Chain A
Amino acid sequence: MNESAATITKPTPLLIELRGVTKIYGSGAAAMSALRGIDLHIDQGDFVAIMGPSGSGKSTCMNILGCLDTPTDGDFFFEGVEVGRMNRDKRALLRRHYLGFVFQGYNLLNRTSALENVELPLIYRGVPRAARRARAQAALAAVGLAGWENHTPGELSGGQQQRVAIARAIVTEPRVLLADEPTGNLDTARSREVMELITTFNREHDLTVLMVTHEPEMAAYAKRQVHFLDGLIVPGPNQGGDA
């Protein structure tokens, strides 16, 4: 695997930097260290696959990177700005304007059409109705779901639902796409479709992608891999990791 080649040969602007990030759940005797000092640099346009055994802290790290959670200690810079300890509303605005999320469980609104699901983040951005509709339609077309606008999640297959979720994540043209096991619920063929899609956005739109996966085949789509173990980043099984 030559996933780190791009970052080494072509210097790109630093987008995200984690410095000694720790996360402790609970307190006292019940305290549980999920992250124990993470250093991570991610450049604009990077595509990083985060791997590691269950319970190693991948999701915890993703939640911090996604500004859904705050680190217990350490620094988190986004474009040079310390965001790790921002308050709830400021983090929400960061998510709104710079981040897109794809989850393992799709997390679409039930009984709501694909189109309206994709429009949702645009509503919070205050995009007027007509523009919203057009952008959502374009995003659905980009994930190959033109013609499925009025179907609700219940009427779509898992692969289609995940593609709606991707459309919802990219419709705002975010700086970073965060995906926690986006193919975890899909069979291999559907997983490949989703990975092709994410790779396309990464390449063609310079979208930075952070993705957690258990499957080496899906991780291979990324430009580089980062391996987690017991709350720390470790060199990968094949020395493919790099922090």
Chain B
Amino acid sequence: MLWETVQLAQREIRRNVLRSSLTILGIVIGVAAVIALVTLGRGATLQVTEQIASLGSNLLQVRPGQGFHGPGGASASADPFRSEDAEALSREIPGIRAVAPVTSRSTQAIYGNLNWSTSVTGSTNDYLTARDWPLQSGRSFSDSELRAGSAVCLLGATVKKELFGNMDPLGASIRLEKLSCQVVGVLQAKGQSSFGSDQDDFILIPLRTMQRRIAGNNDVSSIFISARDRATIDKTKEDINKLLRERRHITAGQEDNFNVRDMQEIMATLTGTTKILTTLLGAVAAVSLLVGGIGIMNIMLVSVTERTREIGIRLAIGALGSEVLLQFLVEAVVLSTFGGVVGIILGLSGAALAARALAMPFVLSPQIVVVAFLFSAAVGVIFGYFPARQAARLDPIEALRHE
């Protein structure tokens, strides 16, 4: 009986293809929007989550200058740090796991006749600890290399690929500006950073080497710190602040001339923004579904009026009110779920295209597809019920007289 009713509904719907298509347009748009947004939103969230993980756990970055200057932003004209600042931090603050003084600059790396522009960072092995960055092959720097400022380097995955392809770079010598240095290790690939830059396009050399042989001064442009515990990170930040103010001779009342950034906090803010955006657009989509539902209700009411005589015939022949109700309800649900299916297909293809265009991961979530389908069916039930009840309550004698 139910299957018969579904078939009947399909036939009624096909009788008026244009009207049916226009009726379900609202549902199609609503569902497509929900599906596309949620799929893209999940992709974005996944991306951000991966980036948070790739930053290193509980990473704090201390830079000279005030406030947050954005990615690679200029840090005003405040004094740079010294290696001693980093040593003091690791010595005096208990909540710290690793402290890595860092100085970076962009440079050309040359191997044989290959030339690759990348960035070179001078730091210590703590840099790798702070950023949870394991080696793929070779070794990290030895204490004597760090102390002496030896010409050794670790390659990021991208640099390794560009200069060496599939060859083993260990032991080879590359040239960084005037410095010829020996490759002692290769880092594991980390992928893109939150700001779209390639984290693996990078060469690490001992800080001393950087200061003496490339930069020509003893400046430390920023300090990477890995806090021991997320729970006490605020206290750790405070301690860092206090110590650095002391060391930089900032008197009470004077503003900091450095800033401590919590990378995960920044990421969390980004994720939050994505969430708000998804919620907002989801609300728009919900409104669209509501409008679609009203469209279905409207067309079903018209249909009941148009088919009053048919309803009269069915009732006279012995159809129960509930059977007529079911017939119209099924018709509304078939309409709305069809709209839902079309919307799901459109939404997923739209999301796939957008994900490709935005270089974002495409995360197909089966739950949201099921939810969208059930939701569109529910729209049919909710908005089809009233017209269907109208039909079921018709008086057969009156309905048969209807022209």
Interface residues of A (CB under 8 A from B): 63, 66, 68-69, 88-89, 92-97, 99, 101, 103, 105, 107-111, 120-121, 123-126, 168
Given contacts A63-B397, A126-B1, whether A120 and B316 have CB atoms under 8 Å apart is no
Q: Which of B300-320 contact A (CB under 8 A)?
A: 309-310, 312-320
Q: Chain B interface mostly helix, strand, loop or mixed?
A: helix
Contact B320 A107 (CB under 8 A): no
Residues of B with C-beta under 8 A to A92: 315, 318-321
Contact B317 A109 (CB under 8 A): no
Q: When the two chains form the complex, which single residue of A89, A120, A124 contacts B321, counting CB atoms closer than 8 Å?
A: A89
Q: When the two chains form the complex, which single residue of A68, A89, A110, A121 contacts B320, counting CB atoms closer than 8 Å?
A: A89
Which chain B residue shows the least CB distance to A110?
B310
Q: Which 9 A-B pairs have the closest CB atoms?
A: A96-B318, A95-B318, A121-B317, A92-B320, A107-B313, A124-B318, A68-B396, A89-B320, A68-B397
Residues of B with C-beta under 8 A to A120: 313-314, 317
Interface residues of B (CB under 8 A from A): 1, 4, 15, 309-310, 312-323, 396-397, 400
Q: How far is the CB of A32 from chain B (nearest CB, A)?
A: 15
- In the bound complex, CA of A121 to CA of B313 (Å): 10
- In the bound complex, CA of A176 to CA of B14 (Å): 37
Q: When the two chains form the complex, which single residue of B4, B313, B397, B400 contacts A123, counting CB atoms closer than 8 Å?
A: B4
- In the bound complex, CA of A197 to CA of B317 (Å): 20
Q: How far is the CB of B16 from chain A (nearest CB, A)?
A: 11
- In the bound complex, CA of A150 to CA of B320 (Å): 27
- In the bound complex, CA of A220 to CA of B396 (Å): 30
Q: How far is the CB of A149 from chain B (nearest CB, A)?
A: 17
Query: Can you name 9 A-B pairs with beta carbons within 8 Å?
Result: A69-B397, A89-B322, A92-B318, A97-B318, A101-B317, A107-B312, A110-B310, A120-B313, A123-B4
Q: How far is the CB of A124 from chain B (nearest CB, A)?
A: 5
Q: How far is the CB of B397 from chain A (nearest CB, A)?
A: 5
- In the bound complex, CA of A109 to CA of B319 (Å): 14
Q: How far is the CB of B4 from chain A (nearest CB, A)?
A: 6
Q: How far is the CB of B19 from chain A (nearest CB, A)?
A: 15
Residues of B with C-beta under 8 A to A110: 310
